[in-house]
Structure 1
């Protein structure tokens, strides 16, 4: 088979990879963009756009039920999940079409099919419409993403197991949703469906939810979910899944107190994600993977093969769209403008779209102490923030970790109404090298949620 030669090949069209080929083509390169499924990758099709669209519907149902607390009579609230799904589908279709319209760029060829390496910097494409093509390039960028991790528990093969994609296609609210996994995905869907009207049980194998967070953050989130009527089980490892009467599902778990079992109408597996490296036959190119199958890269996002790069979730680390965007920034700078941009020392923030939101940036208190840093910690309950009191959104807290000597802000966690937005203000202060003294003395508009930052950072001098 004769090679078709390009200047650059980009495999996958997730958040970062969908923009890079456009910019490479604008710079005069001949570029092939390979996509095996849907344009836009996980974020547009099965991640950020659809889930946050459905979270918005769930929050509206929750607020409507609370109307009486604010003196507003609404009557009985009912959720039409089929309509929620159609709204979600419309959002996804619009985002996908918007991206597709940007691909009409001279020098850019969109090839629909699945790529696999046959040797370094050469890939064979199994075309969606049949046949194959073999492409080579001096630069190849892999942005093939991840997929839901299969549930490997005895009996799971004989049960309908939902994942983070298929659960969004339900057209009726489950009577009782069992969620396996106490990470970000499981918590967002668990609370969402509780607000839609489902009974929800979250089963977490680890000792607490969201193990990457500080213990007080995990505990507060668990308290919020339980307050919403969700059953949260920790230190509960599934050992068997089996059918129950009436088309229901029974889950047996091993706990510190022995084996227990519970039943539900639907089962969601939210136990993590795995990289889409298997079909790429990376070994044919000599690309090194880590022990979980993610592609190893250096600070410039280059793999073990010169000229081959990886970006986004497939390279491991935090799986966030905005991190993929920053990967794009680095590769755009280096491949188009011939700079030496790097991932070194970048602050990676994130938000978990439970309600109230969890926003976090920088290092946790636990990470700081493991590193042997001398730190100080301040924590302010949202019930002490005037705006939160006025709006009836007093659950959660703001927490900041600062260097004990310099006063430099090292990290923060904000659980509260618009927690991600408040966290972003602290992140900007970190980027600007401001100290806690600067924020404690700043003038913030009254009465905004951000005004609570005055009180939070003033606690260090109290």
Structure 2
């Protein structure tokens, strides 16, 4: 048996920096990864998808060039070249991470599948490792629903779709959440016919209805078919096509497509860990329960990132690392309590979100004011020719403090971050309304956003 001070299972956005930090503090550390360093973010999440979304936006802008008086005849998108650029950028990230880990003293990087074999012992590549501190950062994978015939067709996931070399003729997407929104718009801009199938009455149920409806309108303007209230019953193969049999709006119908993307959520990677061998048990959803300091019910064993449940974002995983590292190495008392959860959906325009939504505030009976500004009234949007979207903020009526915001705009995430900073610093909506911002910027329109708010 080989003894370590810390064993980290999974080299994702919490595991890798934590391994380097602990090793740098003198802890003998093992970092185990069965796939590729970097986790979902680097390999098939943020880095590759946002790289390809960037290419899709270039295609969109080229198609709009004539509106600006610029002759343009955009050629057919060569998806193989888009993929090659994506692969290059992903590999750059992997190479950088690999070098940083290899150059860290006290750190052993082990490629292999880790399973628990006893109390605080892990087996990998035929060797048993032990540590008093173990950190599980195994992430999540695309969830595959049970649908008749699905195992007979070559369906895609958010991982495998990134390896396509040719644009699909007709891409059907099961689900209309954040991944479906991004992938649907991206492949539509690459030239595919795209159909979104959502089982609920509307898309993006966690967002305010007016925000979700604005996003739906943008997708429809891009030429995407959005089918809400759709229940997919069975799928089958017909030659080179896939046939979907479903109920939509109470009517039986079928859709024939060339490609099917399953975007129906994600499931934690806990099934193969043999958690029970070390005294742990996952929930019915597969997540590992933790305290507000990310420790499991076994002292010294922690779960970080997507595998613990909750918001599945890279920046949340990284903050999990910060909390654990500072508590262990600096005797801090950081917790998950009151942690802000900003996020972006990288459609174009993108949606930046922070804090509470209007619908959540209304359900809780909170006394609020709501500020809303269409992008058609934003000078920078008018000047740059992109007036799609809106800005919206929820404000506490008594104090004028900002409780949440939704910004659907070019640079929506950056504008949202300004509002998040205001929330962190207890800056009121009146201060932003009267603040001096550079003209003409998108953030300058925070003046106009809050002009109707009395505080």
TM range, smaller chain: over 0.9
Q: Deviations over 1:306-341 (max 9, x none)?
A: 100011110111110000111011011012222211
Q: Are the counterparts in 1 of residues 233 and 245 from structure 2 also a CA contact under 8 Å?
A: yes
Q: Does the 8 Å CA contact 2:344/2:413 hold for their aligned counterparts?
A: yes
Q: Is the 8 A contact 1:35 1:111 kept in 2?
A: yes
Is 1:135 the equivalent of 2:129? yes
Choose which of 89, 95, 101 in structure 2 pairs with 1:91. 89
Partner residue of 1:275? 268
Q: Does residue 1:414 correspond to 2:407, yes or no?
A: yes
Matched with 1:123 is 122
> Within the alignment, does 1:405 sit opposite 2:404 as a pair?
no
Look up the SS of the partner of 1:444 in the other structure.
coil
CA contact (8 A) 1:64 1:77 kept: no
| CA-to-aligned-CA distance 1:71-130 (integer Å, 9 cap, x gap) | 1112143100000000000000000000111112111111111111122311111x2xxx
CA distance in 2: counterparts of 1:343 and 1:306, whole angstroms: 18
Task: Structure 1 unaligned segments of length 5 or more: list them.
Answer: none
Q: 2:241 aligns with which of 227, 248, 252?
A: 248
Which residue pairs with 2:107 in the alignment? 108
Poorly superposed stretches of 4+, deviation over 4 Å = none
Distance 2:203 2:253 in 1: 19
CA distance in structure 2 between the partners assigned to 1:114 and 1:149 by the alignment: 21
CA distance in 2, matches of 1:283, 1:367: 37
Distance 2:402 2:281 in 1: 36
Judge conservation of contact 2:59–2:74 (CA < 8 Å) in 1.
Answer: no
Q: Please give the alpha-carbon distance, in whole angstroms, between the structure 1 residues aligned to 2:56 and 2:4.
A: 47
SS of 1:318's equivalent in the other structure is coil
Q: 1:184 aligns with which of 173, 178, 202?
A: 178
Give the structure-2-normalised TM-score.
0.98
- Flag structure 2 segments of 5+ consecutive residues without an equivalent: none
* From 381, 386, 392, the counterpart of 1:388: 381
Between the aligned partners of 2:437 and 2:67, the Cα distance in structure 1 is 29
SS at match of 1:274: strand
Q: Which residue of structure 1 lines up, in the alignment, with residue 225 of structure 2?
A: 231
| Cα drift, residue 366 of structure 1 | 1.2
Distance 1:23 1:210 in 2: 37
Contact 1:118 1:285 in 2 (8 A): yes
Across the aligned residues of Structure 1 and Structure 2, the Cα RMSD in angstroms comes to 1.1
Q: Could you say which residue in structure 1 is the equivalent of 2:321?
A: 328
**Aligned pairs, how many?**
454
Alignment check: 8 A CA contact 1:30 1:107 kept: yes
